[in-house]
Amino acid sequence: MFFRLEHRGQHSALWTYASPLLALALTLVTSALIFALLGKNPGVALYTFFIEPLTAQGSLAELLVKAAPLVLIGTGLSLGFRANVWNIGAEGQYTIGALAGGGLGLLFYGSNSALLLPAMILAGLLGGMAWAAIPAWLKTRFNANEILTSLMLTYVAQLVLIYLVTGPWRDPEGYGFPQSRMFADAGTMPILVSGTRLHLGVLIALLVVLAAWGLLGKSLVGFQLKVVGQAPRAARYAGFSDKALVWLALMLGGGLAGAAGLFEVAGPIGQLTPQISPGYGFTAIIVAFLGRLHPVGVLFAGLLLALSYLGGEAAQIDLGLPGAVTGIFQGILLFYLLGCDILIHYRLHVGHRAGAAQPARATS
């Protein structure tokens, strides 16, 4: 055998932090090669992709605005994934959350009440939870697999959105175009730094990350989520209710996805339109795992993915690279990040060395 992996027994503190850096270095080398093949100066291209979107205060705000929904949804999903509940329909929960909260904003269009926005946020949260409640109920009552139900409901949610914005919720002054009115000021997320798009939702996303961190570290629920994910059978013996955890996981994921949807429509978009998400609900699944299902990891993963989108746009504008390169670049980046994580749990041996036989190991 040329190289061999040996389980460390305990995860490496060093590689927990070093592996993403190694992955970034490998991505830099690989993408430099690709850019050179495409006839672009690799140095300039890499600068455009990675540094340019970070170089100014305004750009940083944009990065946070782009990352916020990914982080918010990713945090909720990661808690559920820890319990092995496979909610892959966050995109639909996002949509229904946006509709529930946004619908309230349209219903009270003339209102100047300071309560309108909080009510919309609450409605967004509840809307996402309600949509996630369907897979939860079907799972706990009828044993129907949540992968299928949550995914299918995403398409249904999108069609509900199209129906509402082309029909009943259409802007009466909008020449029949498929969009709602713009939300009034009372129904719009306040901007935190004037001159930017940095809105309240970004701050809330950060607070949610902190709260989730606390939840995982200290509370019984966090402990349950951890145990169930790591050793489901032990959890069952310990008397944790499977059903309660399915509900909890889907409510957390759905609620935060719904809130994220509301933040986007009442924030950067400002109205309901047929397209309110560039696939945030799906990308957030990657963010959750890239962040190793930990809230702080999710935060960094969300920022990195957001950066890769912004970098991809900059590469199109400044370098004339086709949009497809963004996807390839993201794929490579993710592959390295995911692949390098092995160094946290395993030691790499190169060459021959007769090691003591160890039992097979599995981690979930």
Partner 1 sequence: MSGDFGWFVPVVLSVISASTPLLLAATGELVTEKSGVLNLGIEGMMLVGAVVGFAVTLSTGSAGLGILAAALAGAGMALAFAILTQILLANQVATGLALAILGTGLSALIGKGYVGVALQPLPKLTLPLLSGLPVIGPILFHQDVLVYGSFAFVAGVSWFLYHSHAGLVLRAIGDSHHAAHAIGYSVVAIRFAAILFGGAMSGLAGAYMSLAYTPMWAENMTAGRGWIALALVVFATWRPARLLLGAYLFGGITILQLHVQGLGLAIPSQFLSMLPYLATILVLVLISRDAARIRLNAPACLGKHFHASG
Partner 2 sequence: MRRRTFNKLLGATVATAALGRVGLARAADPFKAGFIYVGPVADFGWSHQHDLGRQAAQDALGDKIKTTFVESVKEGPDAERVIHELAAAGNGIIFTTSFGFMNPTIKVAKQFPKVYFEHATGYKQADNVSTYNIRFYEGRYIQGVIAGKLSKSGVVGYIGSVPIPEVVMGMNSFMRGMRTVNPNGKMKIVWINGWYDPGKESDAAKALIDQGADMIAQHTDSAAPLQVAEQRGVQGFGQASDMIKFAPKAQLTSSIDHWGDYYTQRVQAAMDGSWKSQDVWGGLAAGMLKMAPYTNMPDDVAKAAQDAEDGIKSGKIVIFSGPINDQDGKPKVVEGQALSDSQVLGMDWLAEGIEGTLPK
Q: How far is the CB of 269 from partner 2 (least distance, A)?
A: 6
Residue 348 is inside which H or E element, if any? strand 346-350
For the segment 279-308, give every residue that binds partner 1 (CB under 8 A). 282, 285-286, 288-290
Nearer to partner 2, 31 or 48 (CB): 48
Alpha carbon 126 to chain centroid distance? 19
Stretch of 57-65, 222-230, 243-251, 354-362 lying at the interface with partner 1 (CB under 8 A): 354-362
Task: Give the footprint of partner 1 on residues 187-216 (CB under 8 A).
Answer: none
Give the CB-side neighbour count of residue 151, counting CA atoms within 13 A: 9
Q: Contact 153/91 with Cβ under 8 angstroms?
A: no
Q: Which is nearer to partner 1, 314 or 334 (CB)?
A: 334
Contacting residues toward partner 2, per CB under 8 A:
47-48, 52, 55-59, 61-62, 65-66, 159, 162-163, 166-168, 175-179, 182, 195-197, 264, 267-271, 273-279, 309-310, 313-314, 316-318, 320, 322-324
Tallying the residues shown for the chain, one arrives at 364
Enumerate residues 6+ apart whose C-beta is below 8 A from 276: 94, 95, 98, 161, 261, 264, 265, 269
Distance between start and end Cα atoms, the chain: 26
Q: Which of residues 146-185 bind partner 1 (CB under 8 A)?
A: 147-149, 151-153, 155-156, 159-160, 162-163, 166-167
- Interacting partner of 273 out of partner 1, partner 2, none (Cβ under 5 to 8 A depending on kind): partner 2
Nearest to 59 by CA among 243, 306, 288, 247: 306
With beta carbons less than 8 A apart as the criterion, state whether 275 and 117 touch.
no
For residues 46 and 79, what is the distance between their CA atoms, to the nearest angstrom?
A: 34
With CB under 8 A as the contact rule, the residue among 2, 10, 39, 142 that binds partner 1 is 142
Q: By CB under 8 A, which span of 49-57, 173-181, 238-246, 328-336 interacts with partner 1?
A: 328-336
What is the Cα–Cα distance from 30 to 24, expressed in whole angstroms?
10
Min separation Cβ 134 and partner 1, Å: 8
CA distance 140 to 186: 39
Report which DSSP code applies to 270. -
- Nearest distance from C-beta of residue 25 to partner 2, angstroms: 23
Task: Return residues touching partner 1 (CB under 8 A).
Answer: 4-7, 81, 86, 138, 142-145, 147-149, 151-153, 155-156, 159-160, 162-163, 166-167, 282, 285-286, 288-290, 322-332, 334-335, 338-342, 345-346, 355-358, 360-364
